[in-house]
Amino acid sequence: MCRVCQKRPEIPDERSGRCEACVKAGRMALRFRLAPGPGGAGLRVKAGEISPRALRQKWLSQLQAYGSQPQPRPHLGLHEAELVVAKDHLETIRVAADLAGQVPAVLEALRQAAARTDASW
Ligand SMILES: [Zn+2]
C-alpha cells in the first residue's frame, strides 16, 4: 500500500513506497518519532526522516502557519507523526492513534523541532 495516500498499491521498488499518482504529484510522507518532553511535560521530536535543519529550511514557516487539526491515522506506529507534503506545500499532518489526545503538543513539538538548526537528531 502506498505510504502517502494509503489508497493505491505502491510501485515495486519505489524508494519511498509510493504509488504512481503520488510520485507524479511529488507527494511524500515525512515521518517523525516523538517522545515525552523534558521533565515529562509535552512532547519532543526524537527522530525524523529529515534532519532538523532540513525541516527548518523547508517547512518552518508552513508549520507555523498550519491551522488545520492533525488527524489520527491507524497506519502510524506508537508516537509517530508525519507531514504529508506535495512538492513545496505542506498538505496535512497525521498522528498515531496514541497521540490523538495530544494534538496541540504534537504541533508544538514539530514547530520546536523546526526551529532547531542541528544537522541530526
Ligand atoms: Zn499514493
> What is the tally of structural domains in the chain?
1
Residue range 97-120: average pLDDT?
A: 96
Q: Ligand 1: distance of its center to the CA of 57 in Å?
A: 25
Place of cell 525524523: 48
19: enclosing H helix or E strand: none
Q: Ligand 1: distance of its center to the CA of 14 in Å?
A: 11
Torsion of CA 109, 15, 6, 105, to 10 degrees: 0
Q: Ligand 1: distance of its center to the CA of 11 in Å?
A: 9
Rounded to two decimals, what is the model's pTM?
A: 0.93
Quick check: is 120 in a domain?
no
Q: Ligand 1: distance of its center to the CA of 73 in Å?
A: 15
Quick check: is 75 in a domain?
yes
Q: Which residues contact 47 (CB under 8 A, 6 or more apart)?
A: 32, 33, 121
Quick check: is 83 in a domain?
yes
Please give the residue range of the domain that contains residue 69: 26-114
Q: Ligand 1: distance of its center to the CA of 86 in Å?
A: 11
Quick check: is 72 in a domain?
yes
pLDDT digits (tens, 9 = 90+) for 4-57: 999 999 999 999 999 999 999 999 999 999 999 989 889 999 999 999 999 999
User: 80 φ, ψ to 5°?
Assistant: -100, 150
Quick check: is 60 in a domain?
yes
